Amino acid sequence: MKVVGINASPRENSNAEILLDKALKGAEDEGNEISKYTLENINISPCMACETCATGLDCARGDDCNTILDELLEAEAIIFSSPIYYGQMSAQGKMFVDRLYSISRNPKKSIEGKDAILIFTHGAPEGTYDQYIELTKASPFGYTGMEVFEVLDVGEVQEPGDVNSNQEALDEAYDIGSSI
């Protein structure tokens, strides 16, 4: 099985990336083929709602995001990991999930039925963003037909690397990845 990991944190060695790497390691140890993208390091433009995709064509934004979306079409699962800033996923993450529109609107493409794991990190106590996380599960991920089967919400990790002192969260991320 192919698994695509999306790191939506703009920071190097961020808590979101550390947990994503643990989950991807778990998936890889179970024999899955993995790939990982750090959105901060790629050329990605926001959706401009031009509806080119609705005509059956690829996204009009000829950037690196199209490569990720094409790979996602071939994969069986996605692991999306983002910090929560001011109550929402990172700007990099939002740009990516908005670009899922180009698949959901395209009559020739579908990610329906693909497995999704969502990982969120933030400085607030766990549970603070439950409503936001539920909304994110429903849309964009649920809206596009993906099956969100696991969510990891890790709070009280503010600075890069803070999560390394939370062995329970690290183990849970690995276990979630190995369950794909």
Q: How many CB atoms lie within 10 A of CB 73?
A: 15
Residue 133, pLDDT score: 96
- Return d(Cα 164, Cα 18) in angstroms, integer: 8
Residue 152, pLDDT score: 97
The CA-based angle 1-46-158, given to 5 degrees, is 75
Check: CB of residue 62 under 8 Å from CB of residue 119: no
- Return d(Cα 22, Cα 13) in angstroms, integer: 12
Provide the percentage of residues in the chain whose pLDDT is more than 70.
100
User: In whole angstroms, what separates CA 23 from the centre of its chain?
Assistant: 12
Give the mean pLDDT of 29-44: 97
Residue 33, pLDDT score: 98
pLDDT confidence bin for 95, thresholds 50/70/90: very high
Check: CB of residue 64 under 8 Å from CB of residue 105: no
Residue 54, pLDDT score: 95
Tokens 């690290």 locate to 170
> Which amino acid appears at position 88 of this protein?
Q
Residue 98, pLDDT score: 96
Residue 21, pLDDT score: 98
Give the mean pLDDT of 112-138: 96
pLDDT confidence bin for 158, thresholds 50/70/90: very high
Angstrom CA distances, 76 to 42, 69, 86, 114, 178, stand at 22, 13, 31, 5, 14
Residue 31, pLDDT score: 97
pLDDT confidence bin for 66, thresholds 50/70/90: very high
Give the mean pLDDT of 125-140: 94
**Which domains are delineated in the chain?**
2-178 (3.40.50.360)
Q: What is the pLDDT of residues 103-116, one digit of tens each?
A: 999 999 999 999 99
Strand partners, 117: 79, 150
